[in-house]
Amino acid sequence: MQDKRLYFIVLYVFCFVGCFGLSAQSDEQEALEAKREQLQREIEQINHLLFAQKERRGTVLDRMEALDQKIRVRQRLIDVTNEQANLLNRKINENINAIAALKRELDDLKDDYAMMIQKGYQSKIQQSKLMFLLSSEDFFQAFKRLQYIKQYTDFRRRQGEKIVVKTQELTELNQDLTDQRKQKDVLIAANRKARNELTAEKKAQQALLGSIRRNETKYAAEIRDKQNQARQIDKEIERLVRESVAMANKDAGKADNDPSKFLMTPEAAIIANSFSANKGRLIWPVEKGFKSQGFGVYSDAIYPGIKHQSNGVIITTDEGAKARAIFRGEVIAILSIPGGNKAVQIKHGNYISTYYNLTELYVKKGDRVEAKTELGQIYTNRNNGQTRLKFYLHQNTSKLNPEEWVYQL
């Protein structure tokens, strides 16, 4: 009895773990597919925004940066597709093993059923159930024989039903296996195409790099100018963030408060807590576009040994696109960067979101805004046709990585 109980416990655990594993794999496959689709959309946007109009691609450096961005996204796409193919391989192998086990189980059921039919005929029960009952010595024996016939018939029916169920399971597993192999073939074909495109893009990158190296002095100076300009903008934004915190505290009559932190009113604390609770789920500061530069230290597209620092992220979008608030809050500053364009700063409790590279503005200091409120039109560079928003995020005066806060940035 204990052995039988132990058998059922082990069987239950095995089934639970198997089902849980299949569910986990399905979730992982869906997540990878969503990621792959996102990367494909990003490549389409890069093609649309950076490569669609060749006459507006700008300088060789602009083209080099755009190509480098495309290659990085393409490589991530290949990596994700490989992960999907590997996961499908595991699922295919599991299904092959499950099919083999199910076939053995089905064969055993059929053998048992055939043996039961054979024995039934040998015992003449099927040919003469009535005679089997009438030949009983007394009523009690007849009753027992009737019960036996009923149990025998029920057992045969259940065995037949099991065979039908197992056959259906086997058919479905075979169909799943066929579908998975087709999915794998599609992924392999997509990866082959992506690798060919990556090879072509790398060749184009090498050709561009060759032309840059032939005019190294000219382009090195251009790179330094871009680097200096980016550093100056980041430095100015940091200064203005500190100034905004100090000014907000002064307006609240708390000039002696810690200048690196906002004075938190009960209302501000509610907004800050709500903002914090939405980490990783905040909306993009533009309706559509792609991240063309991430947060933190990154290698130069032309001279990988040179490192750059970005205190925010750059999002490339369509010409005429509008910057929009990522969360409800109050406009605490309208900034005009020397040598650059305008910026809007929004306070969300003790968080600040900054939207730089705007021309026409739609808000003013003191305005209360909601998520998706349009703040201004993003500047389009006429030399290269690119429309770029630089987006910063701070908690008090501390820099935050927007990629950790904005959904799939």
Q: What is residue 23's predicted lDDT score, i.e. its pLDDT? A: 55
The pLDDT of residue 394? 93
Which pLDDT score is estimated for 375?
A: 95
Contact 302, 214 (CB under 8 A): no
Q: Which helix (H) or strand (E) holds 394?
A: strand 387-395
**Number of neighbours of residue 196 by Cβ within 10 angstroms:** 10
**pLDDT of the chain, 409 residues: tens digit per residue:** 444 444 444 444 444 445 445 555 577 777 777 777 777 777 777 776 666 554 445 566 777 777 787 888 888 888 888 887 887 777 777 777 776 776 777 677 666 666 666 665 545 555 455 555 556 566 676 667 666 666 666 666 666 666 666 666 666 766 776 777 777 777 788 788 888 887 887 787 777 777 777 776 766 777 777 777 778 888 888 888 888 888 887 776 665 567 778 888 888 889 999 999 999 999 999 998 888 888 888 877 777 777 778 889 999 888 899 999 999 999 998 888 766 789 999 999 999 999 999 998 999 999 999 999 999 999 988 777 788 899 999 999 899 999 999 998 8
CA atoms within 13 A on the CB side of 278: 19
Position 137 scores a pLDDT of 65
Sign of the C-alpha dihedral, residues 313, 314, 317, 323? positive
Q: Which two tokens stand for residue 226?
A: 């871009």
Is the whole-model pTM more than 0.85? no
pLDDT at position 238 is 86
Q: Rounded to the nearest 10 degrees, what angle do helices 60-122 and 139-214 cross at?
A: 160
Q: Calculate the alpha carbon distances from 109 to 113, 114, 138, 153, 276 in Å.
A: 6, 9, 36, 16, 59
Residue 88 is predicted with a pLDDT of: 75
Cα(345)–Cα(353) distance, integer angstroms: 6
The conformation of residue 380, written as its DSSP 8-state character, comes to B
pLDDT on residue 323: 95
Helix/strand/coil (H/E/C) assignment for every residue in 262-309: CCCCHHHHHHHHHHHHCCCCECCCCCCCEEEECCEEEECCCCCCCEEE
pLDDT of the residue at 386: 82
Whole-Å CA distances, 189 to 32, 176, 183: 17, 20, 10
Domains located in the chain, CATH noted: 2-214 (no CATH), 217-404 (2.70.70.10)
End-to-end CA distance of the chain: 59
